[in-house]
Amino acid sequence: MPANSRPKRVLLYSHDSYGLGHVSRCRTIANAVVGADSSISVLIVSGSAVIGSYEFRSGIDFVRIPGVVKQIDTGEYDSANLRVGVEHTLEMRTRIIKDTADIYRPDLFIVDKEPLGLRGEVEPTLRMLKDRGTPLIMGLRDVMDDPGQLAVEWERKNVVPALADLYDQIWIYGLPQINKPLQGIDVPPSVRHKTVYTGYLRRELPLHTDVPHEGDELDRPFILVTPGGGGDGDALVDWVLSAYESDPNIPYGAVIAFGPFMSAAARESFKERAAKFPHIRTLTFTNNLGALMQRAAGVVAMGGYNTFCEILSFDKKALIIPRTRPRMEQLIRARAARNLGLMEMLDADKGRDPHVMATALRQLPQQRAPSDVIVPGLLDGLPNVIKLVARGLAHPNRGPASIDPPAPAEAPAAVPLEPAATRASF
C-alpha cells in the first residue's frame, strides 16, 4: 500500500480523574480530525466513566482504563470503583496505556493536559514512542492554574524536562489575549519555540439532534444552569435556586443540568426545591447539552474549558460563577473573558446573596453576546488542529512494524495555519 494512502493512526490520552472537560475536548478533536480526513483512525485512551455516552464519528474508538477520582477538597486521588489501592489502579493504567500504544502503533500521539500523565502513568509510553520516532504532542488548555501554584506543581512533577526533551510540539487550545498558561514558568527557549496557540475549539451540534425534553416543556425563554460534571456544583445550583426562592417573579424559567457526578443526595434535595416552581426543570445528564444551550436565553455556569467553548460556539450570553479550589483556572479564565466583554461574572467568594443572583438572572438576557466583541481567531482551534495533525502525519512512523513496511521519507509540505495559530510569547 502506498505510504500516502495507508490508514493513519492517532492516539489520544486523557487521564479524566474529574469532571467532563478532558474527555469532551478529546472527543471534539477526534471528531474533527476524522471528519476532515477519512483515512485517519483515532483511538482515545481515557479514564472517564461516561466516555461511552458520547457520540463518535466512524473511525474513532476508545479504550477505557480503570477510573480514579480526585478529591476536590484535598486534591488526592483514589480508585473510582475498584476495591484496590490507588497505586495498584495506577499500575494497571500505566500498563494498559503502554500496551495499547505498543499494539496500536500510532503515527501521532497527543497527550491532554498532563505532560507525564496522572502521577507519571504515561511517561513509559512517551519514551517508547519517542524511541520509535513517533511525533509527540502536548495539548494544553488555555488556563492551567495560578502561575505560582503551577510552577510548584510542575517542579514537583518534573514537567519542564518532559516538555523540553520528549515533546515535539505544544498546542495551547486558546488565545494569548485571554491567557498565556506558561507565563511565569521557567522554561527553556526550546519549549517556547515549539509552542503554538490554536484558538478555542468550536463545538457543533450533531446533524441529527433532539433537544432534551426538559427544554421543550418550557413555553417561555429559559436560562440554562450547568455546573459541568457537577461533582463540585452544589454551591452554584443552591445559589440559583435561592435566587428564585427569594424572587419568584424572575421573568425567565430555568433548566438545571446537575451533571453526572453530583451526589444523589444533593440532586434529590435540589429536585424537591425546583419542583415548587412551574418554570424550572431539572435533569441529571445529557450528552447533548449543546442543543439545550442553543435554545437558552442565557447560561449560568462555573466556566470550565468545555463550557466556555460551548458558550462561545453557540454565542450565548453567560454569567460565570467560577470555582477557586483546588485550582484558580476558572477564575482566571472568567476574569479575562469579562475584561474582554465576552461574558459576565460573579465572585462567589464575596458571598452568595440570593438577591445578587436574582438581579444577575434578570439582567442576563439583556447582556451583550460574545459575538458583539471582535477577537480575531477566537474559534479557529479546530481548523488549526486539523492542519497541525496533517503536518504531524506527513511521514507516518510507527517504529517496528509486524505488518506495515516503513514508509519512504518525504519532505514535509508547509501548511499555513489560521490567524489564531500564533507562536507563543510568554
* Residue 3 located in a structural domain: no
Full residue range of the structural domain in which residue 170 is found: 8-202+379-423
Give the torsion sign (CA, 107, 112, 115, 120): negative
* Residue 208 located in a structural domain: no
Domain identity same for 413 and 331: no
Q: How far apart are CA 262 and CA 172, in angstroms?
A: 29
Domain identity same for 43 and 185: yes
Share of the chain above pLDDT 90, in %: 70
Domain identity same for 233 and 344: yes
Domain identity same for 321 and 405: no
Residue 416's pLDDT is: 62
Examine the pLDDT at 133 and tell me if it is beyond 90.
yes
Share of the chain above pLDDT 70, in %: 87
Domain identity same for 45 and 142: yes
| Domain boundary, last residue among 372, 391, 414 | 372
The residues, any chain, with a CB within 8 Å of residue 69's CB and separated by 6 or more, are 17, 18, 77, 78, 79, 80
Q: Comparing 41-55, 207-221, 341-355, 408-422, which segment has the lowest mean pLDDT?
A: 408-422
| Domain boundary, last residue among 372, 388, 407 | 372
Domain identity same for 159 and 191: yes
Residue 237's pLDDT is: 97
pLDDT tens profile 59-69: 999 999 998 88
3-state secondary structure the chain: CCCCCCCEEEEEEECCCCCCHHHHHHHHHHHHHHHHCCCEEEEEEECCCCHHHCCCCCCEEEEECCCEEECCCCCCEEECCCCCCHHHHHHHHHHHHHHHHHHHCCCEEEEECCCCCHHHCCHHHHHHHHHHCCCEEEEEECCCCCHHHHHHHHHHHCHHHHHHHCCCEEEEECCCCCCCCCCCCCCCHHHHHCEEECCCCCCCCCCCCCCCHHHHCCCCCEEEEECCCCCCCHHHHHHHHHHHHHCCCCCCEEEEECCCCCCHHHHHHHHHHHCCCCCEEEECCCCCHHHHHHHCCEEEECCCHHHHHHHHHCCCCEEECCCCCCCCHHHHHHHHHHHHCCCEECCHHHCCCHHHHHHHHHHHHHCCCHHHCCCCCCCCHHHHHHHHHHHHCCCCCCCCCCCCCCCCCCCCCCCCCCCCCEECCC
Give the chain's domain count: 2
The pLDDT mean for the chain works out to 89
Examine the pLDDT at 192 and tell me if it is beyond 50.
yes
Examine the pLDDT at 299 and tell me if it is beyond 50.
yes
* Residue 207 located in a structural domain: no
Domain identity same for 227 and 188: no
Q: How far apart are CA 358 and CA 364, in angstroms?
A: 10
Report angle CA 9, 114, 184 to the nearest 5 degrees: 130
Examine the pLDDT at 319 and tell me if it is beyond 90.
yes
Q: What mean pLDDT comes out for the span 12-23?
A: 77
Domain identity same for 384 and 368: no
Strand partners, 195: 170
Examine the pLDDT at 312 and tell me if it is beyond 50.
yes
Domain identity same for 36 and 127: yes
* Residue 1 located in a structural domain: no
Measured from the Cβ of residue 80, the count of other Cβ atoms closer than 10 Å reads: 16
| CATH assignment of the domain containing 52 | 3.40.50.2000
Q: How far apart are CA 88 and CA 96, in angstroms?
A: 13
Domain identity same for 308 and 409: no
The single-letter code of the amino acid at 302 is: M
The single-letter code of the amino acid at 176 is: P
* Residue 58 located in a structural domain: yes
* Residue 34 located in a structural domain: yes
* Residue 315 located in a structural domain: yes
Domain identity same for 255 and 353: yes
* Residue 178 located in a structural domain: yes
Burial 24-61 (b: 16+ CB within 10 A, else e): bbbbbbbbbbbbeeeebbbbbbbbbbbbeebebeebbe
Domain identity same for 181 and 300: no
Q: How far apart are CA 190 and CA 172, in angstroms?
A: 16
Q: How far apart are CA 174 and CA 151, in angstroms?
A: 20
